[in-house]
Structure 1
Amino acid sequence: MTVLEGFAGAGGLSEGARMIGLAPTLGYEINTDACRTARAAGHARVQADVRALDPARLADAEGWISGPPCPTYAASGKRTGRTDYATILAAVPRLADTRHPRRTLDRVAAEVADPRTALVLQTLDLALDAPNLRWLVAEQVPAVAGIWQEFAAELAACHRWDACTVLTLRADDFGAATRRTRVFLIATRDGAPDLTGLPYRARWDCNRFGPGPTDRPFNPLTPFPLTSMAAALGWPPGVRVNTRGNRRTPGGNEFPADRPALSLTGNGARTWYRTDLGPVAGRLTDRQAGRLQTFPPGYPWHGSRSSRFQRIADAVPPVMAAAVLGAVTRRPWQSAVWQRLAEVYGHTRPATPHIRPCLDMPSTPQLDLFTLPTLAEGRAA
């Protein structure tokens, strides 16, 4: 296998790789239900702790895909990762400079409130020490963008990675029926990847050659259709989804299904139900939740209901994974995304490309305060 996956889960990134014809990936995953699901779907899995991998022995690996767990960083979790953010940032140069990475990783895991917070560092460990890696893709929740930037700066400045980018993407911009947002770290050793056509919401570049770290304007346009939750699941117009039972919060406990669904969480989505059918008949199924994420309708989810929904919520939507992996490996990906949208939602690719604005994006690019004229310059003009 030339492409390895860490924290591979039930197959979101594996599905994306398969969609674009990337060589079969070999995934390492510790969760039993995730491994059973992935294997039943045809994805290779080794049930093992990623921390047991020895990067120096991975001489055949050309690509490294990493999806470390996000509960300690996610807004829906306890957010202890945010409390320990500075500890993780400080660990990046320590890990990059040490001859004993295992000791450093163990030390950091002992310093943070939850050991899972330190698992993001496994992405950097493999990137630094796997001898023949040519590219890597890692994903996380938006809160980890600063950590990915620190990784990117280290790789570009000190470890001969040509191009490093941190991209913020949202699934509904790729036609998925969910507004899941993910931040990707992309690094390549053979020139820059082709990011043309990716509808990114934020982009930060840090390259080995050329100018220093650069924030780029967002790309507010996408060629993919907007898919509502109702359309994805074959529901009639006007349906509302209850997310919290009778519990009331400032944000309410319902949303309309006539738009892309909220981002799915393991504990949250398994309690969603259609208000017109009630909490029993209208309860969201695992197959429906997987479809919102653009998994095929018959994807073989394993485990209890709670476990299945957690596996679905942990996964990267395959259409988004295919786009990123295609861009990094310079493989055509738009046709693969359209094919999956046709399979899951029945969308037809138009003969003439139709470009639409991404949902909830500002209509004008964000101003860069450092490029605005000073008061004196304005008066002179």
Structure 2
Amino acid sequence: MRAVELFAGAGGLAMGVSLAGFKSLAVVEWDKWACDTVRENQRRGYPLVNGWPLHEGDVRDTDWSAIPRDIELLAGGPPCQPFSMGGKHKAHDDKRDMFPATVQIVRTLRPKTFIVENVKGLTRSSFANYFEYIKLQLEFPEVPRRAHESWFDHLMRLQTEKTSGRMHETGLTYNVTATLVNAADYGVPQKRERVFIIGTRSDLGIDWHFPEATHSEDALIHAQWVTGEYWDRHKVAKRDRPLPPKKLLRRIQALTLKKPTALPWRTVRDAIADLPDPRTRVASTIRDHKFQDGAKVYPGHTGSPLDQPAKTIKAGDHGVPGGENMMVLPDGKVRYFTARETARIQTFPDGYVFHGSWTETMRQLGNAVPVALGRIVASSVAQALVESELRRLDAQQSQKSKKAAA
């Protein structure tokens, strides 16, 4: 199955797509440092990215003539700063809003499916109309915005089109599903909430549903405070185990009566337990595992507890935002995550290296889609595509059999 990746960054979603069995026909990213990261891994022969046709440049300037129409998947995470909780919240007034470009590429390539990822801030009430506008543009890519037409007037026209139902009968349309996802619920050691917008081409009859969560906070609480299995696995002596938080006592009591069926949320400790302390000499032998001094706690920025999934890894405008992307040690002190620890939290494999300074690497990681989550979502789309194709072949064979019998 063929795929094109837009806004690929350091390759998180694109690697997930590759792991799901798709072959990349084009991987597009404008940022030089992120492209250097991909090129460095290609130079080192890293298998997942080795065959990627990397295009450094703006997706709006990319020549798509060599890409066949009807590819199986278009995937990408348009720049999220216009909708980020920590950004300037300009949305459609922000020049970095790449949703219009994404819609244009959907219109050009007519992919069978698409995966679009973005920040939770997109779902805020202040962006409600624009979020609806994004989804309707993706549903009806052949109803483009007219010259001098405001985005809101275009929204009204798209809503009228949807109500009429004409395009679903005659033109290129997609069944679009938007889901807010917490990465921790899928085995990523990070409480990272993101919106996934999945589109399946209407004429193909693809039956797709977002994958069910596999991990839960209840299961982590059970492993830590009911059975103690979590502490046993990490060889934490009983005298060194923290007391359960008072706010969890009722939940712990309830969980003693009913064990959760899901797997436990993965924690920071789960992710980095086998990495040496970056302040030790042995850490210098591990790529991207260098200690960075200067981490400080201040209101609203208190770091990630060791025995919980990490808080959302953030990019910041120029690398690491102050007070973020740091870990709370058992003695209450804090330190910054190293780039390798952050890569673990973002589920990049250890063999994948990063190009640039620590702050530049952390920016790339903060912008990335966790590889494991990308694989899960892309695999569900791949399965739906295969099932759709099998149904088409069965129907074709049935039709031949009927003609032969007649």
Amino acid at match of 1:20: A
1:49 Cα shift? 1.0
Give the Cα separation in 2 of the matches to 1:125 and 1:222.
43
**Do the aligned residues in 2 keep the contact of 1:178 with 1:260 (CA within 8 Å)?**
yes
Aligned partner letter, 1:38: V
The 3-state SS of whatever aligns with 1:15 is helix
Offset at 1:67?
A: 1.1
Q: Does 1:72 align with 2:82?
A: yes
Contact 1:228/1:259 (CA < 8 Å) preserved in 2?
Answer: yes
Q: How far does residue 181 in structure 1 lie from its aligned partner after superposition?
A: 1.1
Given candidates 132, 138, 143, the residue that maps to 2:116 is 138
Structure 1 residues 330, 271: closer, same or farther in 2, change over 3 A? closer
1:235 deviates by 7.8
Give the fraction of aligned pairs with identical amino acids, expressed as a percent. 25
- SS of alignment partner, residue 329 of structure 1: helix
Indicate the RMSD between aligned Cα atoms, in angstroms.
Answer: 3.2
| C-alpha distance after superposition, 1:218-254 (max 9, x if no partner) | xxx9844310111211189xxxxxx9944522x3524
- 2:107 matched to which residue of 1? 128
Shift of 1:115: 1.2
**Preserved CA contact (<8 Å) 1:16 1:325:** yes
Q: Give the Å deviation of 1:174.
A: 0.7
Aligned pair 1:303/2:281, yes or no?
no
Cα deviations by residue, 1:99-133 (Å, 9 ceiling, x for unpaired): xxxxxxxxxxxxx2x4113x221111111232x42
Name the CA distance, whole Å, in 1 between partners of 2:60 and 2:95.
12
* Map of 1:177 onto structure 2: 189
Kept in 1, the 8 Å contact 2:303–2:324? The answer is: no
Number of the residue aligned with 2:253: none
- Which ranges of structure 1 fall in alignment gaps of 5 or more residues? 82-87, 89-111, 201-220, 237-242, 334-381
| Alpha-carbon distance, 1:150 to partner | 2.5
The answer to whether structure 1 residue 312 and structure 2 residue 365 are counterparts is yes
Q: Deviating runs (4+, > 6 A) in structure 1?
A: none
Q: 1:222 to 1:314 in 2, by over 3 A?
A: farther
* Alignment coverage as a number of residue pairs: 273
1:255 is displaced (CA, Å) by 3.9
CA distance in 2, matches of 1:34, 1:68: 15
Q: Report what 2:340 is aligned to.
A: 287
Local SS of the residue matching 2:336: coil
In 2, distance between residues paired with 1:134 and 1:271?
A: 37
2:313 to 242, 261, 264: 264
Cα 1:271–1:49 change in 2 (3 A) is: same
Distance 2:313 2:272 in 1: 15
Counterpart for residue 134 of structure 2:
151
Contact 2:306-2:327 within 8 A present in 1 as well? no
Native 8 Å contact 1:163 1:191 kept in 2 = no
Question: Could you tell me how far 1:30 is from its partner in structure 2?
Answer: 1.0
Tell me which amino acid in the other structure corresponds to 1:168.
Answer: L
Structure 2 counterpart SS, 1:69: coil
* Letter paired with 1:176: V
Structure of higher CA gyration radius: 2
One-letter amino acid of the structure 2 residue matched with residue 167 of structure 1: T
Matched, 1:168 2:180: yes
The alignment status of 1:198 with 2:212, answered yes or no, reads yes
8 Å CA contact 1:178–1:263 kept in 2: the answer is: yes
Normalized against structure 2, the TM-score is what? 0.60
Distance in 1, Cα, partners of 2:261 & 2:374: 16
Q: Distance in 1 between matches of 2:385 and 2:105?
A: 27
- What are the Cα deviations for residues 131-187 of structure 1, in whole angstroms up to 9, with x where unaligned? x42111111102224445433334254453242111111110111100111101111
Q: Which amino acid aligns with 2:305?
A: P
Cα distance 1:252–1:134, how it changes in 2: closer, same or farther (>3 A)?
Answer: closer
Q: Distance in 2 between matches of 1:327 and 1:191?
A: 15
User: Relative to 1, partners in 2 of residues 1:255 and 1:133: Cα closer, same or farther, differing over 3 Å?
Assistant: closer
Determine the C-alpha separation between the residues in 1 that align with 2:26 and 2:14: 9
- Structure 2 residue matching 1:14: 3-state secondary structure: helix
Q: How many Å separate the matches in 2 of 1:332 and 1:49? A: 29
Decide whether the 8 Å contact of 2:190 with 2:310 is kept in 1.
yes
Hey, what's the Cα distance between the residues in 2 that align with 1:310 and 1:193? 36
1:322 matched to which residue of 2? 375
Letter of the 2:358 counterpart = R
Distance in 1 (CA, whole Å) between partners of 2:306 and 2:368 is 21
Deviation at 1:332, TM superposition (A): 10
Amino acid at match of 1:256: P
